[in-house]
Structure 1
């Protein structure tokens, strides 16, 4: 976390905007349709998330990561006190005030990054996995909803948290092979044990890279069943988000719907190609993502 003594609010906003641009995030399209103050608020929120995520995924020692994330806890305190020291902190001050953002959600995001920093996370219990998704995805949703202009009510909360779970679980299923390659297994222990699938990253990676090896057929079948069950949970979370959406103005939350559409398309592709291929790369073309975004921009998701 780099501090500065004299950065202006405009410069801080440019810094946050550039963080979004550099990342190439698929959420960028959703941010662009917002009115300027809300768009700048989302840029600042995203830049914060990017900063703490980079710490968790970086090359620092675990001890240094703890210190860096602790520094961000202190910076969030300063944001809410009105005297931040970093470009991202300065960019957050106005959105925090204007949209009444909840300090606790920023701290939950940091907690999620601390879970990764202490890791790697390997075969967590389902309760721990859902605690993780609440922090790294649910917190983003809870900060985004008031920034979009949605009311602070039960429907907004249910939509934000259900969609956050759905997006993160889909992301986990999409990236099983990539995560195993860096020592991480976010798949829940209960399902791995139930279906006799590998419980560690080398084991998952061996299955993913084994092709049709008969020696690993049982574990490959088990991993496929884990994917099927976790995919069903992700689908259930998408349905819960759709149910909550009926009590909201879909136009207000269009940026979230663009993300929802893209990630539902990822989940559908994982389902239709078959869970026996869990761990191999899956992608959507730019044209496919654009088509999904256009559909969700123009109309609410179909029932």
Structure 2
């Protein structure tokens, strides 16, 4: 099996650890199709660590986000506290027997990932339990740092760099933010259903948009000229963050560039689709087609094979 070859290449031998890495890989494949496709372009020995980092983030996010599973806000908060305790205990001990946490603890140890990145991530997850919207972009940026920028910083040691790591960190953080801003735009309707708005309220108001108008458009499966203009403004910001992140691809180890360049192009394509849909993200969820994903990924696969041979 492919997963077994990856774990062998990464020298993961402990049966419990192998099961934890498998679970994280499943979470990646199930919830992050675009991201998972990009990880296939990594070297086999790199993939388990990236799956562990993504899988842990996805699992913790699901603990907070599954608002229709019958659990109260207090129960979701208790679940996130349990995630925090399991991670803290694992990082303290250097190992864990938890079926998900074991993999991310092992990855953090192997790649000497700064513990503060996990602390910041969980802080943002806690914000999702109590914060329903953000008054300004600066307020949103605090959340996005923990929910997205630190993911880029966590993954960077796994990818490797051809420059001092500190030099590549701003671009890695920016790419995580760009992906998150793209998700916010794609998922406006779904986030509204969860009671949240991840678009700065003051910037929406500048175009005559508020939560009530967004909810009205969501209920009616239609959009509004004011909403279109407000979303166009947010798309322009996301593109500016992508531009800040792009130079970081050349700072990565050559074997990691095809993966990140593919993720960069696939997520950027989502913004194209939002524009093509005339910013109608409230009645539907734009998705990059399988054909388009393959058209972007296949040339990168050839580059990844060349890097692997080199």
Instruction: Check whether TM > 0.5.
Output: yes
- TM-score when normalising by structure 2: 0.82
Report the equivalent of 2:278: 274
**Which of 36, 50, 66 is 1:42 aligned to?**
50
- The reply on whether 1:27 has 2:35 as its aligned counterpart is yes
Is the CA contact (8 Å cut-off) linking 1:105 and 1:143 kept in structure 2?
yes
Task: After TM superposition, list the pairs within 5 Å mapping 1:40-79 onto structure 2.
Answer: 40-59=48-67, 60-79=71-90
Report the equivalent of 2:10: none
CA distance in 1, matches of 2:137, 2:47: 35
Is the CA contact (8 Å cut-off) linking 1:124 and 1:186 kept in structure 2?
no
Is the CA contact (8 Å cut-off) linking 1:261 and 1:293 kept in structure 2?
no
- The reply on whether 1:203 has 2:213 as its aligned counterpart is yes
CA distance in 2, matches of 1:152, 1:84: 31
Report the equivalent of 1:145: 156
Alignment gaps of 5+ in structure 1: 1-5
- The reply on whether 1:96 has 2:108 as its aligned counterpart is yes
Measured against aligned partners, the alpha-carbon deviations of 1:206-261 in whole angstroms (never above 9, x if no partner) come to: 1345577xxx9xxx222222111111110001111113334444542432222211
CA distance in 2, matches of 1:253, 1:124: 36
What secondary structure does 1:34 align onto? coil
Report the equivalent of 1:294: 298
Measured against aligned partners, the alpha-carbon deviations of 1:104-130 in whole angstroms (never above 9, x if no partner) come to: 1112221121111224x2354211211
Task: After TM superposition, list the pairs within 5 Å mapping 1:208-227 onto structure 2.
Answer: 208=218, 210=220, 220-227=224-231
**Which of 264, 278, 282 is 2:268 aligned to?**
264
Is the CA contact (8 Å cut-off) linking 1:41 and 1:95 kept in structure 2?
yes
CA distance in 2, matches of 1:264, 1:95: 28
Cα RMSD of the aligned pairs, angstroms, is 2.5
- 48-57 or 182-191: which moved more? 182-191
CA distance in 2, matches of 1:41, 1:152: 21
Is the CA contact (8 Å cut-off) linking 2:250 and 2:257 kept in structure 1?
no
Alpha-carbon offset, residue 56 of structure 1: 0.7
Is the CA contact (8 Å cut-off) linking 1:27 and 1:259 kept in structure 2?
yes
- TM-score when normalising by structure 1: 0.84
**What is the number of residues matched between the two proteins?**
285
Alignment gaps of 5+ in structure 2: 1-13, 305-310
CA 1:248–1:42 in 2, change beyond 3 Å: closer, same or farther?
closer
What secondary structure does 2:33 align onto? coil
Report the equivalent of 2:4: none
CA distance in 2, matches of 1:16, 1:265: 26
